[in-house]
Amino acid sequence: MRLLLVEDDLMIGEQLLDLLRAEHYAVDWVRDGEQADGALAAQQYDLVILDLGLPKRDGMSVLRGLRAQKKTVPVLISTARDAVEQRIAGLDAGADDYVLKPFDLDELLARIRALLRRASGRAEPVYEHKGVSVNPATREVSVQGQSVSLSAREWAVLEPLLARPGLVLSRQQLEEKLYSWKDEISSNAVEVYIHGLRKKLGPELIQNVRGVGYRVPKE
Ligand code: CA
C-alpha cells in the first residue's frame, strides 16, 4: 500500500518513515503543504497521514482542497494532544480519523490498518479463500491450517490485492504500491514476487487476468 506522509518536523518525519517502511508500506514523505498538493496531484495514494501545522499551506487547506476535488483517499490527521478544536475542524473538513502527538506508534499502525480496511469495504480483518487465510494485522498466513511466512516485498504485493478482492490491479499499479520515489525498480519485480507468492500460497489465490493484471478472488 502506498502512503503519503505530510510532516514538517524532521525528527517525527524520519521516525514515522522508518516505522512505516518497516511495516512494508511504500511511503513518500513531503514537508510542506504545497509539496503535499503536488504529490496528491501526481500520485494515487491509499492513505494520507497529514500534519495540520505545516509551512506554506496548512494541513486544513490541503485537506479541504483534496475533498473539494472529490478525492476520497482516507486521511489521518495528526494533531497535538490539547488541540481538540483543531481535531474537530479536521474531522468536519473531511478527515477520516486522527492521531495524537506524541504518537503511540502501535496505535498509529492500528488506525492505519483500520482505515485501509474500511476503505476497501471490508468489515472482517481476515481474508479467507479456499483454505488460504490471511490476517493483515498480525501478518499471519496459513494454507490448509499450515502457517506460511512471507517476505516484506511479497506482503507489499499481496496486501493491495487482498484489500479489494475481485478487482484487477495492473503490474504498474502493483509496482506503485511496492516502491516509493527513491527506490530502484527492476522491470520484472512484480512477476518475481507473484511467482514467490504462488509457490507459497498455491496457484489459485492470485489470478492472472491476461493482458490486464492480477486479482485475488472474492471470498
Ligand atoms: Ca507541524
Name all domains of the chain by residue range, CATH numbers in brackets.
2-119 (3.40.50.2300), 127-215 (1.10.10.10)
Query: Helices 59-68 and 33-42, interaxial angle, to 10°?
Result: 30
Any idea how long the chain is? 219
How many angstroms separate the alpha carbon of residue 164 from the centre of ligand 1? 33
- The model's pTM is 0.82
How many angstroms separate the alpha carbon of residue 100 from the centre of ligand 1? 12
* Residue that the C-alpha cell 496457484 belongs to: 203
How many angstroms separate the alpha carbon of residue 95 from the centre of ligand 1? 17
Q: What is the pLDDT along the chain (219 residues), one digit of tens a residue?
A: 899 999 999 999 999 999 999 888 999 999 999 999 999 999 999 999 999 999 999 999 999 999 999 999 999 999 988 889 999 999 999 999 999 998 899 999 999 999 998 887 776 778 888 888 888 878 889 999 899 999 888 888 998 888 888 899 999 889 888 877 667 777 788 899 999 999 999 888 899 998 899 999 887
pLDDT digit string, tens, across residues 49-65:
999 999 999 999 999 99
CA distance 51 to 114: 19
How many angstroms separate the alpha carbon of residue 9 from the centre of ligand 1? 6
pLDDT digit string, tens, across residues 161-187:
888 888 999 998 898 888 776 677 777
19: CB partners within 8 A, 6+ apart? 105, 108, 109
CA distance 122 to 128: 12
Which residues fall inside 5 Å of ion ligand 1, going by CB? 8, 51, 53
How many angstroms separate the alpha carbon of residue 142 from the centre of ligand 1? 41
How many angstroms separate the alpha carbon of residue 51 from the centre of ligand 1? 6
